[in-house]
Structures are given as structure tokens and as C-alpha cells.
Amino acid sequence: MIDRDRPDDVQPVIDAALAGLRRQSVTIPSPWNARALCDRLAALRGRPIHLVPGSRFGWWFDHLWIAGDNADFIVWADRSSPVHQRHGVLHEIGHLVLGHAGVLVEPGADLNALRPHLGYDDPDEVEAECFATTAGLLAETRPGAAVGTLTPEDRAAADRLAAMVGAEAVRWT
């Protein structure tokens, strides 16, 4: 673990995490493909990782990792720029591979109340940002296809999440 008072020590933690992933044959896809990376990590972790478009909840900029009982959900800013989308997804994956605690969502929760706020007094956020930046350098400079193809399971997961938090129905686009 990093010394929480010494942010200079973050980079070795990230480098070690990425080296650990490489040893397990997990590489950052280039060209970038979030679905492919999540599939690989899900196989290693033994639980699915669903990609949920933030526009489903009226989000335009934020990203969020939700740790469910049997699956992980990454809500990503599907309407933002490709570079920002990739950075956001890698940030949430960073939380996941660095062993941080995910956000737990109770039925009926207001998802907007869980929106992350950029603040780097939380060491987990520093680590996740550093992971996203470092891992992003391993992908190509400017991502084209931002995420890959959403699966029917992703869409079903988004519907379940929306029902759970009482989100208004939003048409898939």
C-alpha cells in the first residue's frame, strides 16, 4: 500500500499493478476496447463487469463504479469525447484492480447523489487517476471506437440498475 501522506509513492503502486496484470496476460487493448478489457478482467475475477452508458441516467460527464453482489457495473460517459471516455473507464477499472471499495447502491437510491466529485484528498482517487493516466498511455493516443460493442447483458444490467434506483426510462441510442 502507498504511504497516504506521500503521493510521490503512487506511481510505483500503479506500475506494479500494471505489471501484475501483464503477468496474467491482461494488456490494455490498443486500439482501445473497453468491452474486451472488461471481459478479460471479468474472467480473471470470476464475476461479470457490465458497462452501463451514463446517458441512461442523464449523465454526460461522470463515471462511476458500482460493486454489486454478483457483478460490477461501470457507468461511463458515453456522450463525452473518446479520450475522456477511455480515461473515465480506466479510472473505474483502476479502482477495481487496485482493490478499492466500490460504491454500493441500495434499491431506490438516488444515483445522482453518488456522483463522484473531483477531489484528490482521497488517496483512492489519486491512485485511480494515476492508473487511468498511465494505462491510457499504453493504448493508442487518440481512441476511435471508444468502448466496443455493448452486449445484451450490458443493456439488461443497465435496465436492472435503472429499475433499482428508480431512474426514468431513457431510450437506448
**What does the binding site for Zn ion look like in residue numbers (CB under 5 A)?**
125, 128
CA distance 170 to 62: 17
Contact yes or no for 66/49 (Cβ under 8 A): no
116-120 — which CB contacts under 8 Å span 24+ positions?
116/62, 116/63, 116/64
Residue nearest to Zn ion (CB): 128
CB of 62 to Zn ion, least distance (A): 10
Quick one: DSSP state of residue 83? H
Cα 92 to Cα 73: distance, rounded to the nearest angstrom? 10
CB nearer Zn ion, residue 78 or residue 129: 129
* Contact status, residue 77 vs residue 132, Cβ threshold 8 Å: no
> Which residue, 74 or 128, is less far from Zn ion as judged by CB?
128
- Please identify, using beta-carbon distances, which residue of 128 and 130 lies nearer to Zn ion: 128
Smallest distance, Zn ion to C-beta of residue 54, A: 14
Interatomic CA distance for residues 131 and 95, integer angstroms? 9
* Smaller CB separation from Zn ion, 72 or 125: 125
